[in-house]
Amino acid sequence: MTVRALAIGIVPWALACGANTADEASDRVGTDAAGESGVSYSGTVVASMNLDTQPYALYAQFQTAANPSPSSGAADAGFEASCYAWQPMVSLPTGFGPGGSALPTAGSVTIARDGAPLATLLGPSYPEITNVSWTAGDTLDVQAAGGDVDAFAGSLQTPATLQGLSPAFGQGPIAIASGTDFQISWTPEGKAGEIMQVQIESDGAWVSCTASDSDGSVVIGADLIAQLSLAANPTIHLIRSITSNVLGPNATVALEGQLWLGAPAIIQ
């Protein structure tokens, strides 16, 4: 099923990748619209695999208040595809949250596969670990020893390899015609709650569209394509992701598996 994503316009990075409203943010971390009074922290643990060069990355972050990280969230029956044009904001120094406050920790976070440890992430900044590997589609076990964020454990699903892409990746630059809509399609994996994000970057400007993976296709409007530079060297990335939310004693944590695939593009 082809989905034409709703065009939102130019927005900051944090809104472009996160929930659209406060109520949606609450839904995505497993709380009701009013929030859970016992939740004082939130966080994300990510297992990311990039098919361009086969690097793997594990990382985590925790923060005060029950707000999801920009990358968290899961599709469901009410999920509506949407697109944004945006420019990234300046990043905060590693280990600090909004306002420069120190980030809370959850102690050591151990990632395992089939009972064998892959890596241990260490706070407070939980820098990414890349000397690890797993197979696309694996389920990883996550266990945090506890700190400011109480101990928690859960299963992190990783997405399967992308299939049935049109236009095909790996056969030269992806041609994107200016002045017309751009459609990209894929074969859905079939996992409930999985989403697909399409990002096109050109000279620091981005167009980002998100749809349910089960849609199998998304259309990026010509009005958003027109905001990208024709003279730069654009790139296009597909990110398939799935998130499982763990509600602990004092925190809600999103366990997110990501699969990335990129290619050069030509806007003409």
CA distance 117 to 45: 15
DSSP annotation of 166: B
> What pLDDT band is residue 229 in, cutting at 50, 70 and 90?
confident
Alpha-carbon span 2 to 241, nearest angstrom: 19
Pairing of strands 174-176, 251-267: parallel
- What proportion of the chain, given as a percentage, has pLDDT over 70? 74
Model confidence pLDDT, tens digit, residues 92-102:
445 544 444 57
| Residue-wise pLDDT tens digits, 82-126 | 887 865 544 444 554 444 457 899 999 999 999 999 999 999 999
- CB proximity list for 71: less than 8 A, separation 6 or greater: 17, 44, 46, 241, 254, 256, 258
Q: What is the pLDDT of residue 39?
A: 54
pLDDT band with cut points at 50, 70 and 90 for residue 65? low
What is the pLDDT, as a whole number, of residue 67?
47
Pairing relation of β-strands 82-86 and 6-10? parallel
What average pLDDT does the segment 17-39 reach? 36
pLDDT of residue 142: 98
The pTM (predicted TM-score) of the whole model is: 0.78
CA distance 141 to 15: 29
Report whether pLDDT(51) > 50: yes
- What phi and psi, each to the nearest 5 degrees, are found at residue 22? -65, -40
Q: Determine contact, residues 11/220, Cβ cutoff 8 Å.
A: no
Instruction: Please list the helix, strand and coil fractions of the chain in percent, rounded to the nearest 5, in that order.
Output: 10, 45, 50
